[in-house]
Amino acid sequence: MTQTLTLTLNGAARTVTGSCHEFLLGKCRVLVDCGMFQGSRTLERLNAEPFEFDPRAVDAVILTHAHIDHSGLLPRLAADGFNGPIWCTRPTADLLEYMLADAGRIQEADTARRNRRRDRAGEEAFQPLYTEADALAAWGMCRPVELEEWFEPAPGFRVRLWNAGHILGSASIEIEAGGTRVMCSGDLGPDNKAFHPDPEGPAGFDHVLCESTYGDRPREPVTLAARRKLLEAEIRGALERGGNLVIPSFALERTQELLLDIVQLLRAKAIPPVPVFIDSPLASRATEVFKRHSAELEDLNGAGVFDHPQVHFVESVQESMRLNAVSGAIILAASGMCEGGRIRHHLVHNLHRRESTVLFVGYQAAGTLGRVILDGAGQVRISGQDVRVRAAIRRIDSYSAHADQGELLDWIAARAPIHGSLILVHGEEAALEAMRRLAPARAPGAAMIVPEIGECWELPAGAPPRRLKTGREGPASATGRDWQNAYAEFVTGLKRELTRIEGEKARAEALARMREVLESYATSRANKARSPSGKR
């Protein structure tokens, strides 16, 4: 009896992060990616939930690239019993040594900080999601493979990787199993991206999974030279204001692209010879990997791009804190969405300064601090501190490592004919709906599917898929902004609103009325819970 390939979406469905696509053929189970959810605190709590499968039953993982939303749960997978190979490109394996170890250290440090909080006295201690040792154990399972070379990750599966043009080492995954041919896009890079050729891949599939991060966002085509001019204008404008230019930057790829352009501008004397600080030990390690693979990279235009005398890599916390006294410098720090890392420290010390500039150069997921700032918040809460936003907030879209709407549609058309289905993943609602509306013209005859997390589909050869299991309700409600985003906004503005009320007695009355509202709501909820009909 012929076995039919099935697909279960364990992440990155109706949300951008948490990539984990589970393919099953008979008893053989292969994962494409095993990434962390990133965004609101509610969404990130999904990382601690049990896997929907037994990690010990997974035969292999195939990794599209090293970003944490695609690789960040590999250490937990290994700690929970997975002991198979992790197939990926050589650059991805080299990057993972540092990416995963850094993620493990962050998990341990965050857990230690939460356990030290005074308001947790007497509560059970938190445990880290995984440790640095777990991360290095997972990295040791990597098995590098060349692009476009067939390999067999598990019985019945034939796989090869294709350049995805997204970041160093990124790949799309072609799978043949049970007579069915599938392509998983992974994250796709834009045309004319620095360092990497445009995405590649064959045509003619039964089913295609395509990312949709920027599915609702067409961008004006920008050459590398034009992008560099945009950056030059932002740097000059920031320096004229007299303060620092702070750039939240992903440690991997975005930092190296910015360095490429900043160094070229310094060499051309298009900007003053100001100091450039890379305040991210992970970015320093990633840059070393880029140097190691420099022969494979485009656009370097000679040696020394990553070794310019104006560029300073900041390692220790003490060095980082000394940047508080700096003015008129360019500071690049992780994380790119401002959810962790040293960038939060620099935002605390620069957001309230009118002479400072914060320049966003990457995607900001809904619910992240970066998105809140970019959307125009007048005040934000960072590490327990209320911070006024007086700095100039700027944005350049042309550094995106993701294909835009038109490039995604072109990639889909290049995979045609698609005989069964086009499955849209890795996107927020607006992006997914735009792709659902536009993609049929590029993949005529293919069924359009926008799955929920947890959905399971049978993927027959040459025919539309059949849904075997519906998705889970919880993950869908966790995407985007959550109550903690609303709480942070409320708290940051509360003191300011209270000071506008004249008189101590009136302020105390306002607080008492707010407390009454909360108590009344809690009482109402309790009464409804006791009454099956929901009536008091």
Per-residue model confidence as pLDDT tens digits over 47-61: 999 999 999 999 999
The confidence score (pLDDT) of residue 536 equals 41
Q: Are 165 and 199 spatial neighbours (Cβ–Cβ below 8 Å)?
A: yes
**In the chain, where the domains are located:** 8-218+401-478, 224-395, 483-524
Mean pLDDT of 468-492: 63
Per-residue pLDDT for 118 more than 60? no
Share of the chain above pLDDT 90, in %: 75
The secondary structure of 499-523, three-state, reads HCCCCHHHHHHHHHHHHHHHHHHHH
- Banded pLDDT at 359 (limits 50, 70, 90): very high
Q: Which of 156-160, 303-307, 514-518 has the highest mean pLDDT?
A: 156-160
Mean pLDDT of 40-52: 90
The token pair that represents 13 in the structure block = 């469905």
Q: Are 356 and 242 spatial neighbours (Cβ–Cβ below 8 Å)?
A: no
Per-residue pLDDT for 483 more than 70? no
Per-residue pLDDT for 114 more than 70? yes
The confidence score (pLDDT) of residue 516 equals 83
Mean pLDDT of 462-490: 70
Share of the chain above pLDDT 70, in %: 92
Per-residue pLDDT for 19 more than 50? yes
The confidence score (pLDDT) of residue 384 equals 81
Mean pLDDT of 104-116: 88
CATH number for the 224-395 domain, one of 3.40.50.10890, 3.40.50.620, 3.30.460.80, 3.40.50.150?
A: 3.40.50.10890
Mean pLDDT of 197-224: 95
Longest dimension (CA), the chain: 81
User: What is the domain class of 8-218+401-478 according to CATH?
Assistant: alpha beta
The confidence score (pLDDT) of residue 487 equals 61
- Banded pLDDT at 535 (limits 50, 70, 90): very low
Nearest CA among 5, 12, 50, 2 for reference residue 33: 12
Neighbours of 427 (CB within 10 A): 26
The token pair that represents 17 in the structure block = 């992060």
**Strand, coil or helix: 525:** helix
47 or 502: which leads in pLDDT: 47
What are 504-525's pLDDT values in tens digits? 888 888 888 888 888 787 777 7
